């Protein structure tokens, strides 16, 4: 596996962290290429739970880690996670942070929160960590980058320029308190000492690793359906989680990527607003949420739950150029006698399609066409190989693989690292 992208195939929270952690054992370097502390990775290693927001999951196993230019960084979260690494005996110098990544400034968080409040019933349901406003400023070219903290004069100038505009917005549009230049500057200049040892040339580090024949793992945060360009806009994040984002977000060419492993739950969850055709109606939704522990790592929000959606998954196979799939949390389905799977969408004009609708109105009004597979109704606790799965569980996995015309490489049957069957 010289270079592999791991990408969420649904709306996030597919259990990517655990798969990355597993593959990180065989990797020399793990890279995050987009997103920021809106991601929440829970990884259980040797009974110890790690909850990471900003760092690549590889740090858990002490693997060299990179945060690319395509990421946005909350300096405080980053520094806290450096401390966590130290506390748990991991050398923080394994982390390289791109100087070109953008900093989430305090006004970005305030604007994210205020703008969601203003949108009211039209809100996106963001994680309110300032992600969208930071990427918006990056595109508007008034962002503040990680490397700016290294020069107090440049930093002050950039904060001054940004605040001249932001404070007007904050006071006049959102009717909240403005930020004080002196205070923000002092706080961020203060981060310089903590950030400096981590700042490096992410593109060069990864290029060199690839040239040296090392195994490089690119870890997508969020997921395909939350992709700014190819997801269910506007209910998306503000970056490109899809596999090709790894090339732009790190600064390597697309020809350097050898394989793309998608990660999908054996069912679907979604946090935030937006259409969700296979969402379960009735009490089985709450049952699945409880069984799967489907509450946000970062926000604690209840996740909406649905049965597996093969139309959306087929789309994810396409836009990522997926070469294989990891199917996680199969064990969560063990209690159900029957397992509906969405195999097609019925569109408003009565036609049925296997392909994800290109037009938003078709998607908003799509109804699921179900095929119901038998459940196995027995625990998977003792199962340690794919061949030992109960017949209906194996059939479920094979059904997904056949429908997508894609090999399923890994199957998750429990929370711990070793509960992934290859
Ligand atoms: P933002 O990324 O905070 O701007 O949120 C935009 C959308 O992406 C919202 O629907 C969030 O719930 C969703 N989102 C962001 N990060 C994650 C994640 O790590 N898991 C699941 N959904 C996420």
Q: Hey, is 5 helix, strand or coil?
A: strand
Alpha-carbon distances of 168 from 101, 164, 191, 330, 410, rounded to whole Å: 26, 7, 26, 51, 51
Mutate to test the pocket of ligand 1, among 11, 38, 114, 269 (most ligand atoms within 8 A of CB): 38
Pair type for strands 367-374 and 338-346: antiparallel
SS3 percent helix, strand, coil of the chain, rounded to 5, is 40, 20, 40
**CB-hemisphere CA count at 13 Å for 331?**
19
Place of tokens 């990864």: 206
Tell whether ligand 1 has an atom less than 6 A from the beta carbon of residue 237. Answer: yes
- CB-count exposure of residue 422 (10 Å: 0-12, 13-18, 19+): exposed
Residue 34 CA to ligand 1 centre (angstroms): 12
Q: Whose CA is nearest to atom 9 of ligand 1?
A: 126
Residue 222 CA to ligand 1 centre (angstroms): 6
Q: Whose CA is nearest to atom 1 of ligand 1?
A: 126
Distance CA 250, CA 147 (A): 16
Q: Using a CB cutoff of 8 Å and minimum separation of 24, what contacts does 47-50 make? A: 48/88
List 41, 102, 108, 230, catalytic entry = 41
Tell whether ligand 1 has an atom less than 6 A from the beta carbon of residue 13. Answer: yes
Distance CA 249, CA 237 (A): 15
Tell whether ligand 1 has an atom less than 6 A from the beta carbon of residue 126. Answer: yes
Question: Residue 26 in contact with residue 117, Cβ under 8 Å?
Answer: no
Distance CA 305, CA 65 (A): 32
Tell whether ligand 1 has an atom less than 6 A from the beta carbon of residue 271. Answer: yes
Q: What is the mean pLDDT of each run of 10 residues along the chain (422 residues)?
A: 92 88 90 92 82 90 95 98 96 97 98 92 90 97 97 97 96 95 97 97 98 96 96 95 98 97 97 91 96 85 96 98 98 98 97 96 97 97 94 98 98 88 92
How far does CA 332 lie from the centroid of its chain? 21
Tell whether ligand 1 has an atom less than 6 A from the beta carbon of residue 104. Answer: no
DSSP category for residue 54: S
Query: What residues contact 113, with CB distance under 8 A and at least 6 apart?
Result: 128
Per-residue H/E/C for 190-247: HHHHHHHHHEECHHHHHHHHHHCCCCEEEECCCCHHHCCCCCCCCCCCCCCCCCCHHH
359 is catalytic: no
Per residue in 2-12, is it b (16+ CB within 10 Å) or e — as a string?
A: ebbbbbbbbbb
Question: Residue 342 in contact with residue 370, Cβ under 8 Å?
Answer: yes
364 is catalytic: no
234 preceded by a cis bond (ω within 30 of 0): yes
Tell whether ligand 1 has an atom less than 6 A from the beta carbon of residue 272. Answer: yes
Place of tokens 């070793």: 418
Q: Taking each helix axis as running N to C, give the angle between helix 152-168 and helix 106-119, from 0 to 180 degrees, rounded to the nearest 10.
A: 20
Mutate to test the pocket of ligand 1, among 6, 12, 292 (most ligand atoms within 8 A of CB): 12
* Biggest alpha carbon–alpha carbon distance for the chain: 66
Q: Between vectors from CA 306 to CA 281 and to CA 229, what angle results, nearest 5°?
A: 125
Q: Whose CA is nearest to atom 8 of ligand 1?
A: 237
**CB-hemisphere CA count at 13 Å for 228?**
14
Residue 237 CA to ligand 1 centre (angstroms): 6
Looking at residue 124, what is its pLDDT? 87
Q: Hey, is 49 helix, strand or coil?
A: strand
Which parts of 13-151 fold into alpha helices (H)?
Answer: 16-24, 75-87, 106-119, 131-140
| CA nearest to 241, candidates 131, 372, 379, 86 | 131
How far does CA 326 lie from the centroid of its chain? 15
Entry pTM: 0.94
Distance CA 362, CA 50 (A): 40
Tell whether ligand 1 has an atom less than 6 A from the beta carbon of residue 39. Answer: yes
Distance CA 97, CA 215 (A): 19
Q: Hey, is 4 helix, strand or coil?
A: strand
Tell whether ligand 1 has an atom less than 6 A from the beta carbon of residue 278. Answer: no
Q: Hey, is 409 helix, strand or coil?
A: strand
Looking at residue 1, what is its pLDDT? 58
């Amino acid at each position: 596996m010289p270079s592999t992208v791991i990408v969420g195939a649904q709306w996030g929270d597919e259990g990517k962290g655990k798969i990355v952690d597993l593959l990180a054992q065989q990797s020399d370097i793990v890279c995050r290429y987009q997103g920021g502390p809106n991601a929440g990775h829970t990884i259980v290693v040797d009974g110890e739970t790690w909850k990471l927001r900003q760092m690549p999951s590889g740090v858990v196993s002490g693997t060299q880690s990179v945060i690319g230019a395509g990421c946005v960084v909350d300096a405080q979260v980053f520094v806290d996670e450096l401390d966590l690494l130290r506390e748990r005996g991991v050398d923080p110098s394994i982390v390289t942070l791109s100087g070109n990544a953008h900093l989430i400034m305090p006004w970005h968080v305030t604007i994210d929160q205020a703008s969601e409040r203003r949108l009211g019933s039209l809100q996106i349901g963001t994680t309110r960590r300032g992600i969208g406003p930071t990427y918006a400023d990056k595109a508007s070219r008034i962002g503040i980058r990680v490397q700016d903290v290294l020069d107090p004069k440049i930093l002050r100038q950039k904060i001054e320029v940004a605040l001249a505009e932001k404070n007007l917005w904050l006071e006049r549009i959102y009717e909240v308190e403005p930020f004080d230049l002196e205070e923000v500057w002092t706080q961020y200049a203060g981060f310089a000492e903590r950030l400096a040892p981590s700042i490096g040339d992410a593109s060069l580090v990864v290029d060199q690793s690839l040239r040296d024949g090392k195994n490089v793992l690119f870890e997508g945060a969020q997921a395909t359906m939350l992709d700014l360009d190819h997801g269910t806009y506007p209910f998306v994040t503000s970056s490109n989680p899809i596999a090709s984002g790894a090339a732009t977000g790190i600064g390597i060419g697309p020809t350097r990527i050898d394989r793309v492993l998608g990660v999908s739950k054996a069912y679907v969850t979604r946090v935030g607003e937006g259409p969700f055709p296979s969402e379960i109606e009735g009490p089985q939704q709450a049952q699945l949420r409880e069984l799967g522990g489907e509450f946000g790592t970062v926000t604690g929000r209840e996740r909406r739950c649905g049965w597996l959606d093969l139309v959306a998954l087929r789309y994810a196979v396409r836009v990522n150029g997926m070469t294989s799939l990891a199917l996680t949390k199969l064990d969560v389905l063990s209690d159900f006698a029957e397992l509906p799977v969405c195999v097609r969408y019925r569109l408003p004009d009565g036609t049925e399609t296997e392909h994800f609708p290109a037009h938003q109105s078709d998607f908003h009004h799509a109804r699921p066409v179900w095929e119901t597979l038998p459940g196995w109704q027995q625990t998977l606790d003792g199962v340690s190989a794919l061949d030992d799965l109960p017949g209906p569980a194996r059939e479920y996995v094979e059904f997904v693989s056949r429908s997508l015309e894609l090999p399923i490489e890994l199957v998750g049957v429990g929370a711990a690292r070793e509960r992934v069957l290859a």
